[in-house]
Amino acid sequence: MVVYHASANRDESVFPAADRLDIARAPNDHVSFGFGPHFCVGARIARVQMATLIRRVVAELPGLELASGAPPKRLVSNFQNGLKDLRIRWR
């Protein structure tokens, strides 16, 4: 048996458009920080830090956008989910 960590939180029966990044998704019953007695004690601060980072980047770099003609390249891995390459442009 193999556990594919990269598929976590991408279950289409739980999340509509599961492959799309939606930072406002609600409800968001993901398992990124564990569950039950194994829930991460730092989850709240991690969420606050990420929300602060996103707000600051958007506020400080208003011309930030995806570079045209350069679609994001996904990382191919059974153990990680993410992007290998994300080209952006700042106008």
Instruction: Output the pLDDT for position 5.
Output: 65
pTM, to two decimals: 0.62
Instruction: Output the pLDDT for position 55.
Output: 92
Instruction: Output the pLDDT for position 1.
Output: 63
Cβ contact 40:46 at 8 Å: yes
Give the contacts of 12 (CB within 8 A, at least 6 positions apart): 18
17 conformational bin, left if phi > 0, alpha if psi -120 to 50, beta if neither: left
* Tens place of pLDDT per residue across the chain (91 aa): 666 666 777 888 888 888 887 878 888 887 888 888 989 999 999 999 999 998 999 899 999 988 888 788 888 877 777 888 989 898 8
